[in-house]
Structures are given as structure tokens and as C-alpha cells.
Structure 1
Amino acid sequence: MMTLSKLNPEHIIKSIYSSPFNQYKNDMGLVLDVSYITDNIIVCSYPVMKYPKMFYRNSLVDLVTYLDANHGRKNWKIYNLKTEMNDSDYTDNDFAMVLKSKRLTEKSQVIDALSSSFRSRKMLQDHCKVCGIKLLFQSTATEILKPAESVKSHLLRYGWLDHSPPPFLHLQKLIKDIRDNVFQGKVAVIHCKMGKGRSGTLVVAYLMTYLQLPRHEAQSLFLSTRFKSGISKGVTIVSQLRYLKYQEMFLRYEEQQRKLIIDSLSKMQFKILSIEFVNSIGQYSSELLNKANNTTISIKIQTHSKIKPTLIDLFSKQCSTNKGSLRSLTSKQITVPNIVVVCSDIRLSFGIRSKTSQFINNVSHLSSFSSCWLNLYWESVLQSRNLDLDSNYILPKNERFEFSVSWEELDGFKGTSGKGLKLFDAVSIRWTLV
């Protein structure tokens, strides 16, 4: 029987919004999207601190309250895999405020009323009253200028771009940190935006590495514990699945060999030689593009920035259709001049874009976006299968390697299969180890 507290609109909206997920039923009256993959691995959607998103997303206060009550303050750690930020996202100061809190006094209410966050705090306080939770804030604004040291032991922000796989070395560091905390008896609470693609990639890789589950079994476990039957297919983005296959390859080596691979990956450099297309810009696509005005076709090779959570262009080639320059992108092979990749993770990106209203009116015919993440090291190892397993992780210098992918195997817009106007049948990229 549903209690009166659960009949409030916020609980109803949250229940509907999180209905695709397998939620752990708690006895605290909290409506939380929390799924136990194992006893010590939890996946949830992104918790927030402000309305209106708190009407349908996890409340950070609710989540921390639940974790404290069910596991103990010292026995959990949150892994935030989301790098894109908006007004509803919680900051380290917000997190510190929830962790290290004091009851508001009349004096502190006056001080807080002068701050820009007073209204959101007041709404948060009202929300907690409805849910029967005592919300405690720090007494002065100056106390939360610097996040408490306890934040570091309870929160790790180590995410990557949405709809993408993590850099391979990035993934290994995350897996190890989770392992270290789980071995100490802690619970790892993992979230991205929805607790699906990025969270699923990390969890499946962890299950493969430390529970020694085969890749398909690890994927099935995540799917069955996170989602209700028939609702989702779990991790579906092609590039994320490709990186799980890299993890599978990595685990075939002995532990000492893995350490050597990790050490080598941080030092390796690759030189991109060329990109080659099969049937690029076919006749149908060419006719449409030649009729379009102010549209631009672009080809990019990108990698992760080490400074901030964004991409940097290693190579970019563009042509505007209204200049009659399509021929520059319809040649079979494009030579890439002197591009050295310091890290082994790259993204190939292909698209058509325009800012004109004509493009928007014809978006169903002319829009196109596709991309593909790959790790140059592991793709090189795949081509060295003829070597002995004990030594094929050591790549020969000056040997040329190649990766080919069909149009159908590329990632589409926001990780979907939808890519729009077909630009080619297949693409290959060639490189060598420097």
C-alpha cells in the first residue's frame, strides 16, 4: 500500500521517470533510482541539488541519506563520470554542504539569504520536509568556500565525454580505484547522466577484470540488474563496445605483462599517415549537396584534451558545397600531414553542418553526423596476432597498421544509430608507431 508521503507529486514523477530501471526498494520512504549490480557496486542516475530537475531526478541529499543509513558514512564513495555541467549539477561545495552540515540557525538563515544559492537551498529544505528528511546546512557561507577534506574520500570526479568510451588508460585508473575501495569494504556508487552508457562501460570492465566474468556475461549482468526486462539493451554504443573488447584483449595477458603495457601506453607515439574512403560522396549524396547552399562537409581526427574535458582537433579538413569544392573530399585517399598522436585514443568524425535556415528546413535530407573511437595500440595488436601471445604486445616500429570500418558500424548522433545522409561506404585509417 502506498503511504501518503509517496503520493506527493514529486514521488510520482520520479517513479515514472525512473520506471525503466531496476530500483532497490528501500524502507526509508525515498524514491531513488539506485540499482545494485553486485553487493558493493551501485549504479544510479545523476543526483541534483536544484529544482525543477529535482522533481524527477535523484536528490543528492536523498542519495547521501540513503547511503549513510544503509552502508555507513565511511563505507561508500561516489564516482561521477559526467563531465558536462549545467545549473542543476552539484558542485564540490554542494557535496561538502551535504556531508558536513549543521542545522540552520536564525543567524545563518540571514547570512544565507544574502547569497545567490539561498532560493535553491530553501526549495531543497522544503523538499526534505515533504520527504521527512532533516536537511542540515553549514552555518555560514565562508565555511563552504573550500570543500571539506572528506569530499575527496567520498567523491571522485573522473569522467569523460557523453556517448563516448573512456581513454583506455583512464579506464584502468578508474577500475583500480574502485577495486581498492571495494577491497576496503566500501560500496562504489557509479553514475553518469542516466547510469547507462558510461556507467555501464565502467561496470562491465570492472566485472571482467576483478570478478573475471567473460565480456558477454558481464554485459548481461549489468543489463539484468540495471534495467527491467525488455526496456534497454544496456551498453549499445559501438565505440564503447569496442573498448570493452580492448579490455577483453588486455585481460588475456599475465599481470606482469599488463603492467608493461600500461607503462608503454603512456609513452607511445603514433604517426597518422592517411585516410581512405570507399565510394565517398556517392552520386545521390553529391546531387543533394550540390543543390545546398552554405553547407560544410568536415572530416576530423580528434583526441582527448589533457587540460579540460573536451576534444582537440589533430586534423581537420572542410569544404563548402556552395564553392563547388566537393572534389577535395571525394578523392579516394586523403594524406594526413605529419600528425603525431601522443596518446593512443583517437576519434574519427564526419559531418555536414550549416547555420542557414535552408539547412534547417531540409535537415531530414542533408544532415549527417558520424564518428568512431579507436585505440591505435590495440588495433595494432589485433594485426599482430601471428606473433606469440607472450610478445605481440610489443609493437614493431615502422610497420604500417590499418583500421577499417563501414558506414553502418559508425556511431551516430549522440550515440544512436542515426547518422543521416550517407557520406561513404567505408573508411580506413593508416598509421605507424613512431
Structure 2
Amino acid sequence: MASLLRQIVAGPRMRHPEADLDLCYVTDNIIATSGPSSSYPQVAYRNPLKDLVKFLDSKHGSNWAIWEFRAEGTGYPDEEVYGRVKHYPWPDHHPPPFGLVPLIMASMRNWLQDKEAEGRVAVVHCKAGKGRSGTISCSYLISEEAWTAEDAMKRFTERRMRPGFGNGISIPSQLRTIRYVDRWTKNGKHYMERPAEIVELHVWGLRDGVKVAIESYVEEGKVIKKFHQFAKAEREVVRGSIRKEMGFADVAMEVMGKAKEKTKTMPKDAGDVVESQNGDVPKDTGTSGLNSVNSELQPGGGDVIFRPSERIVLPSSDINIDFERRNKSKYGGFTMVTSVAHVWFNTFFEGNGPEQSGKADDSGVFEIEWDAMDGIKGSSRKGTRAFDRMAVVWKTPAEEARRASVMVEEPGEGEPVKEMSSADWRKSDDLSQDFEKKLGLRADMAASAAVSRANSPGPSTGGSNAGDDVPDEIEGVKQHVPPTDENLLSGVTGDQRDTDVGQAEEATPKDDGEVSATAKKLKNPTTRSQAEECQ
């Protein structure tokens, strides 16, 4: 029975035929395995630690060591693997904090390429031995063995996955990190860890009930911390409107693509929301490009700029933009999470740091489409569409960068390499605020009213009753009506009109000051999906 459970859990991953364990040899000296366990109930469906150690001892004697990446805990004490384990943990289904990459690469290189110790192997594992383990395995082959990124990812898939069961590494943000590693390797392995500031966030085709959060790593990368969650007052509608009264029935109809007749009021010029690089409006070709994505605006969507009321300064260059869409029942006080998606990027690489000898740009814009976002638990499943496309305007805060920037170089051969502290091996989660996000019903919470995950609860009761007038999440928010499409996409000029949604009265022009330099890059935003970079 235990063997059957292990085969079911391993699923699409290859099992080693001789050991009958969920592991593979990526190369002759790199072994990728799912996380072993020495305690119940995990030992019933994961690799038993004693069996893994027995196999490694029989095949490699004392010439093996483990590199583990589990912020949720390894599931075994170090003593049970003779203390031969290196800890570089980060949360499941996410890319590594890039500051860990040079350390992990140097640590593995010193072990595997020690001329006085032939035949050594490195055993890498996370929970499933796929995403995090694959990212590090491929990064090592690229940075230390001179493999191309394509060859490294192909090899990992061939060795780790059963034929026809997809790629070994499939999470877009992890694939983006592998591209970062490739650029890092080709340009001298320079990396500057520095603070980053989010100036504003442009979102095209935003649906109702969406909350947006800014996150980054803390505690050596073991925990994802939410630094800011945008409130209603920080949103500015620049085109269209966000439809009200999206109850469960409306969500179901949206999923089925059968919007109510009254919602089929898409403006004729809605295609103008997005331009191609040359400034031309793309024509409807019937393909799966961005223009066909715009057709999904029928259930209601608007173009919004999020400007934080207070500065959002993150401690590192690794940034996560997290989206969650919630729709509230009109009766019963329940909400349903209908969309969950996020994306990680690194400002050092988005600012062309590797190509500029480690001197990255001080500001920039990161763009991505909905379809290229990370889904739930590393899958492509994100639920209903929450938006069409977004652009993040970021910069490096001068004063904070002067105090906290650190150049991270890969330690040389034979030099000591810093190791991170391990997570508690007995626990089962990484203590991140977004741990195990998922779709489904939630009980309504009055505490969410300030950010309005869906329709705001009534002001007097903190919740909604059957007869309450439930306002839309952006009702009463200032609307910006730009005189030209160029001003719409730059988001920094044009007449500002303070209105309720759907009404307008003239006001004086608004000067966005500090964002003027970086916002120029938004005048002709690209329509190329970030997913293409990961092909």
C-alpha cells in the first residue's frame, strides 16, 4: 500500500528503476529527488529517508551531500543524513531570491569539482524534486558546466519527467530566473542586491473584486512578506469602468463565456487600450494575441493606475506582484476566491545590470500579460481573468540604496561559502502570508473592507445584509479622462477630473513629478508576452 501511495504521489515524475525511489540522475553527479521523510504520515507516501540514505551509501559511499531548498521544513533532522546537508531554503512554487544563487552555485561547485575528491555527487531536493530542484540543477549546469539554458532545461525534463507529462520546470517565474542566471553567467557573474521602490502600477482590463499586493522576501528568503496592499483611495480609473454586482451567478456565466446582455457594452475603441511597439493598434486577427484577450472585456473591465499613498520600499531587488480576485454572494455573507495569480521579477536584471558590468538602471518598467502570470501552486491554473495586462513602474531609492546595497559575487574555488539557517524540520509551512493560496469559498471578513476584495461591506454593520446597498470597490474613486491615447498609456499627463464613476467635471492638470522619467517607457508598451522569454 505504501509503495502504491508513493507511485501515485510521484505521478508524472520518473522513479529510479533500481532504487524504486522518486529520484533521477540529472547528470552523473547531480541527483534530483523529492523531499524524503522519516516521520509519519509523510513517510507513507514520500521517499523514506532510511531507504534514500541506504541507496546513496551503497552507490556513492561517503561521496554524497544534500542541498535542500525547503522553507516549509525538511521533514528530517540533519543527524539522520550524517550532517551532510546544506540549507538554502525558500518557499515552494516560487523562484529563489537571487542573492542565494551565487552562494548555492559556489557551494555545489566546491563539493563537486574538488580535485582531491573524485566521484562526488550532489543530491538536490525540495518537496516534489521538480520546480526548486530543477531551477538549481539547471542553474548549476549553466553557470558551472557551460550548458545552454535550453539544453539544461531539456535535460532536466528528460531525466525527471515521464514522457508526455510536461516540462520539468514549468513555473514562469522560475523560468525567468533561469534566464537571469544565463545572463548573469555570460556577463561576469556580478549581482547587486539593492532596495527597490514601487512607484506605480498600471493595469489594463482590471475586473471587479481584485486586490493587489506588493511582496518580497525576508528572513534570508524563507518568508514572503506583504509590504503593501492597495486600497480604494490609491486607485485611479483612466478608462472604462469596473462592473458592479458580480455575484456567484455572474462569475459562473463569465467562466462559461455567457455574459448577460446588459454587460455587452464594450466601447468600439476598446482595442485602443493596448498598442504595439510601433504605436499602431493591433488588428483583430483571430489569434490568441493580446487583441483577442481584449475581447474578454465584455463582462466588465477598466484601465487603472495604482499610486501608493505612502512609499513602498522593499529590502531587496526581488519583487512579487500578487493578485487575488474575490466575488461576494448577495446573500449569506460568503465570498468566493475566483482568481489567484502572481509574478516575480528582479529589478537588477530588468534594469540590465549584467550587461552594464553590475551597474543596473535606477528605474524601469516591468510588463506582463495575464496569461504569463504564475498560477496556483506552480500550475497554470489561475481561475477567472482578473486583468489583461499590467506594467510596474519601479525605481531604486537613492538614500536606501546608498545604505543597503551589497555586491554579491560568487565565492572563488576553495573559498568558504555562507550557508543559510535551516527551517524547523518539524513544521509543514513556510510562514509566508500567502502560503497555500487557493480558489474557493471564504467566510466574509469585515477587516477586508478597506481594500475591498470584492464589494465593500456596509459602513454601519461591517458586513452586508440582504437589503444592503453594496457599493462597487472603486465607486467614488477619482476618474482620469485623458485627452489622448498617448497620455492614457503614459499615465502622467492630461486633464484630471474628480468624479464619481461615470461622471466628470474639469480640474487642473496633475504633475506626477518623480515618475515622469520612467513613465515615458509606458507610452508605447510592448504587446509581447513575458512568457515568450521563457520558451
TM above 0.5? yes
What is the one-letter code of the residue matched to 1:368? Answer: S
* 1:381 maps to 2:352: yes
* 1:204 maps to 2:175: no
Question: Identity of counterpart residues, as a percentage?
Answer: 28
* 1:60 maps to 2:53: no
- In the alignment, what sits opposite 1:111? none
Per-residue deviation, 1:232: 2.8
TM-score, structure 2 normalization:
0.57
Deviation string 1:165-213 (CA, Å, 9 cap, x unpaired) is 0011112211211111111342111111111111111111111111111
CA distance in 1 between counterparts of 2:56 and 2:331 reads 52
Q: Which has the higher helix share?
A: 1
What is the Cα-based RMSD across aligned positions, in Å?
3.0
Q: Select the residue among 339, 342, 355 that pairs with 1:371.
A: 342
Q: Select the residue among 11, 17, 22 that pairs with 1:33.
A: 22
CA distance in 1 between counterparts of 2:12 and 2:393 reads 42
Whether contact under 8 Å (2:204, 2:302) holds in the other structure is no
* 1:273 maps to 2:199: yes
Whether contact under 8 Å (1:319, 1:326) holds in the other structure is no
Alignment of 1:134-283 (within 5 A): 150-151=82-83, 154-184=84-114, 185=118, 186-254=120-188, 258=189, 261-262=190-191, 265-266=192-193, 268-281=194-207
Deviation string 1:60-94 (CA, Å, 9 cap, x unpaired) is 01111111111112x11111111114xxx5332xx
Instruction: Note the residue ranges of structure 1 that are not aligned, 5 or more in a row.
Output: 1-8, 100-149, 290-296
Change (3 A) 1:47 1:359: farther
* 1:421 maps to 2:384: yes
What is the one-letter code of the residue matched to 1:407? Answer: W
Q: Select the residue among 348, 351, 354 that pairs with 2:324.
A: 351
Per-residue deviation, 1:22: 3.0
Whether contact under 8 Å (1:197, 1:237) holds in the other structure is yes
Deviant stretches of 4+, over 6 Å: 354-362
Change (3 A) 1:252 1:306: same
Single out whichever of 184-193 and 161-170 deviates more from structure 2: 184-193
Q: How many residues align?
A: 329
Deviation string 1:376-395 (CA, Å, 9 cap, x unpaired) is 1101118x9xxxx5x36423
CA distance in 1 between counterparts of 2:24 and 2:332 reads 43
CA distance in 2 between counterparts of 1:175 and 1:360 reads 51
**SS at 1:244 equivalent:** helix
What is the one-letter code of the residue matched to 1:205? Answer: S
Per-residue deviation, 1:347: 0.2
Per-residue deviation, 1:396: 4.6
Whether contact under 8 Å (2:328, 2:334) holds in the other structure is no
Instruction: Note the residue ranges of structure 2 that are not aligned, 5 or more in a row.
Output: 234-240, 244-300, 399-535
Alignment of 1:400-411 (within 5 A): 400-411=363-374
**SS at 1:418 equivalent:** coil
Per-residue deviation, 1:326: 6.9
Whether contact under 8 Å (1:381, 1:392) holds in the other structure is no
What is the one-letter code of the residue matched to 1:174? Answer: I
CA distance in 2 between counterparts of 1:209 and 1:45 reads 23
Per-residue deviation, 1:356: 8.0
